[in-house]
Structure 1
Amino acid sequence: MQGQVDRGIALYEKALQISRQIHDTEGQGYSLMMLGEIVAIKRSFSVGMGYLHEAINIFQKLNSPHTKKVQAIIDYLLSTRL
């Protein structure tokens, strides 16, 4: 299972890198959202939350409906930390 998590993280990191290279802002936000959720749960809560906050900032600037999804992920992760 851990190997699949590591592979997923590596793929989203690559997707983020490519999105940044081609200036795909929505792609960056999506990659950060997915990275944030996986990393917060499986590796480092604080690093994952950093990705999620970066994603929500991008989606807010784009006025994207993904903003609500990222906020829901953040709220869920915070509620499970109590």
Structure 2
Amino acid sequence: GTLMVSGTLEEPVTFQGDRLESMYEYIPGQWGGMYFINGSQNNKIDYAEIKNAVTGIHLGNLYSEDAPPTLELSN
């Protein structure tokens, strides 16, 4: 699959866990993060905030014979 995120400077897209109480606002490790597996191409994330994940972005095996995932980030 392909992920296209189109946030803006004024309205960034936020990815975070589902615990929205103030005591969880800065607690890391609430969710795994985003996984882009081999074969996932043309992913693009514009103006996004990734909060409280174990690791924000995981990319597939870049040394596999399968096509590694591609991801363009911009803010």
Instruction: Give the alignment's TM-score, normalised by structure 2.
Output: 0.29
The structure carrying a bigger strand percent of its residues is 2
The structure carrying a bigger helix percent of its residues is 1
More contact order relative to length (CA 8 Å, sep ≥ 6): 2
Instruction: Give the alignment's TM-score, normalised by structure 1.
Output: 0.27
